[in-house]
Amino acid sequence: MIWFLLVTSGLFVAIGDRMEAVIMLAAILPLLGMDVFLHQRTQASTTGLRSRLTDFAVVVRGGAESKVPAVSLVPGDLVLVAPGEPFPADGIIVGGDGLQADEAALTGEAFPVRKRPLTDPEAAQATVDGAHWGFAGSRLLTGTAHIRVVFTGPETLYGEIVRSAVEGSHGRTPLQLAIGQLVKILVIASAILCVALAWIRVRQGFGIVDGLLSAVTLAVAAIPEEFPVVFTFFLGVGVYRLARRQALVRRGVVVENIGRITCICSDKTGTLTEGVLSLQHVVPASGHNEQDVMALAALASRADSGDPLDAAILDRVPSAPDKRRLATYPFTEDRLREAAVFDDDAGQVLIAVKGAPETILGLCHLTEAERRDWMARVGEFAGTAHKVIACAELRMATDRWLGGEPERGYGFAGLLAFEDPVRDGVADAVRMAGEAGIHVIMVTGDHPATAAAVAVELGIGGKRPIVLDGDELDRLLAEGDGERLQSVDVIARAVPSQKLTLVKALQARGEIVAVTGDGVNDVPALQAADIGIAMGERGTRSAREVASIVLLDDNFRTIVNAISEGGQLYRNLRLSFAYLLMIHFPLVLSAAIIPLAGYPLLLLPIHIVWLELIIHPTALLAFQEVSADGSLRRTREAGFFGGRQWLIIGVVSLLLTLLMLVGYDVGLGEYHDVDHARSLAVVVLVFGSVGITAALSGLRTRAACWVIIVSLASLVLFVQVPQIGRLLNLTPLHLDDWLMAVFATLAVTSIAWLMRMRVAESAAPRH
């Protein structure tokens, strides 16, 4: 459009019409501003994806240590990693004692991972266990590690995740495709019409210059630049409104998709719940009291672990027993427990352990009946949405402890039950989502009984939610029984990698899926989802970079509010498009038909600029209404409009075109007054714009009222003031002319009002 207006302006300069040339150049300015704005909006920052990588590394080359840029590392280098430093590359650990690493950004798990050197350096890489690997993007917590570099840069595990985030593409949304197709059709039709008009005007004897100017003028009116401009503007408004609802939109087109979500896969901890564990119950075993159990739990906890469970325990124990720690065996997925060895009095060591009840009970001297009784207590707590751990202790002579972690012989101390309360308002949000036809699936690593209890409290799945654990999910999908996912409410004991599997399975069923995530390991699922939602408070920067939306408050209720806002904005966008089509078609058709019939041009460039100054603000501002009742309404349709909506648009467009042609013919009269005819046709078009605006907006916004007032005022100023009208080749109208325009407005408004009703019906039923 910018280049086209430049060429048109040059054409007017060539024929000596400087006023029209200036008008064309002035029309370029807002388009240039929009181009700059769009360029800035499309610049995506990837600096956050590199924030966890170190810039320098200490490498041993030629027997000497040197500090080199991490990007200069090559496979085979021997690198020294000190406590607290990130691993600069993926490599095999060949030296170091007491090594623990924080791999939360890669695995999503908060607990430290124990690492140990590879005893057989000649082993094939494919057979090396993960405990022998140091991964870029993770951080060494304890000890000094010697790693032999194997993979660097994009070949590392972290690099693969980053590359998928940066290079991954999202398909164009249905509305984007529909806009592209519509604009293509309009451009092709306009080009054909312009060429035909130029050829016919020359054949009619008006000359080549007239034919060329006729075609150029029609093209300025016909090029559908309003549609991408309005689409971008509405997305910007959506970004602003969602930000006010604590949802930061990173991809503008998500404003369209969010209103069509049919399924939300949500994390439990921190999203549906507060994410803060509080110790609610201490159940000591025989021979122990609550203080004993708490003391053991505190000994088996670490303030620097980053585990919220450890934080909750240590908050309840102001001062842990003053004992010298000899060894720590951190919690891992395969061990499901954490143990610590302390130097006790009288030549003894004390081993304190805490962890999953079934694991701890298996280490203790208990009868089968006692184990069943304690597991029954665990089930009771889990059934009331508590997270339960068990504690045990073992004392032995110092000379009997050989430096390892004993696997049996512990004395059972008792249970600790923690509560993570659900967030205020989440239950109402879940209910609203269900009534709007949105399927909510809770994804958690918790025990199935605990997950089911939280689901019941929130209303997910009603009073008897259907719960699958991660293994059952894999088995179900492996058997091709994806249809059962439509009835599943909770995925328990899930690992982060299963999110991607779940998202793809749901999408294969035709669902529009939103998924929440906070770790680097969630990046593939966030990117695969139609709407990826990252946590703003506890999420990693990599997850936030690739997500479509970042929740500033990590609250599920914010997701539902965003869906409501997005759905309303999407419907308003379609009203704006309906207005553009109802005005654009009559503008182009009348501007083409009248000169094709042999009459002088209906619209000159200055008229088109005037009309565009009415049409653009109306399309951009008049339909920015807010949902009247605040309810959640999901958009059922995708793309542009349905068949009946297109029929209404067609009827309104043809009717307004016919009224403009009739007005032009009446305005000509017996004296063949072209300026009077042009004035009446333009007034009918502007009155039609006013009527369509009133019908589609319902006059529920202040902006709609103002654009109507300004549009009518411009008519009075440009048409009825003779001094201004002469500059625009217009003449004042008579009373009967204005009455005709009012009649046209009423006829167009009554039909356009049906369009608003049809767009409202495209939303799911309100609750």
Pure H helices in 101-173: 104-107, 157-167
pLDDT for position 45: 33
Q: Which amino acid is it at 649?
A: I
Of 390-399, 557-566, 725-734, give the range with the top mean pLDDT. Answer: 390-399
pLDDT at 147: 93
For residue 47, pLDDT beyond 60: no
Q: Is the pLDDT of residue 397 over 80?
A: yes
Domains of the chain: 50-167 (2.70.150.10), 180-240+568-761 (1.20.1110.10), 247-274+423-554 (3.40.50.1000), 278-419 (3.40.1110.10)
129-152 burial string, b = 16+ CB within 10 Å, else e?
eebbbbbbbbbbbbbbbbbbbbbb
Q: In angstroms, rounded to a whole number, what is the distance separating the alpha carbons of residues 734 and 547?
A: 60
Q: In this structure, are strands 90-95 and 133-134 parallel, antiparallel, or unpaired?
A: antiparallel
Tens digit of each residue's pLDDT (9 = 90 or more) over 565-623: 877 787 888 888 889 999 988 988 888 888 888 788 788 777 877 888 888 888 888 88
Residue 753 burial by CB count (10 A; 0-12/13-18/19+): exposed, middle or buried?
middle
Residue 683's region, left for phi above 0, alpha for psi from -120 to 50, else beta, is alpha
Whether residue 473 is predicted with pLDDT greater than 60 in this model: the reply is yes
Evaluate if residue 124 carries a pLDDT over 50.
no
- The pLDDT > 70 percentage for the chain reads 86
- Dump pLDDT digits (tens) for 650-709: 899 999 999 999 999 888 887 788 889 999 999 999 999 999 999 888 888 888 899 999
pLDDT of residue 738: 92
pTM: 0.64
pLDDT class for 38, splitting at 50, 70, 90? very low
Q: Which two tokens stand for residue 588?
A: 């182009």
pLDDT score recorded for residue 489: 92
| Mean pLDDT computed over every residue of the chain | 81
pLDDT of residue 148: 92
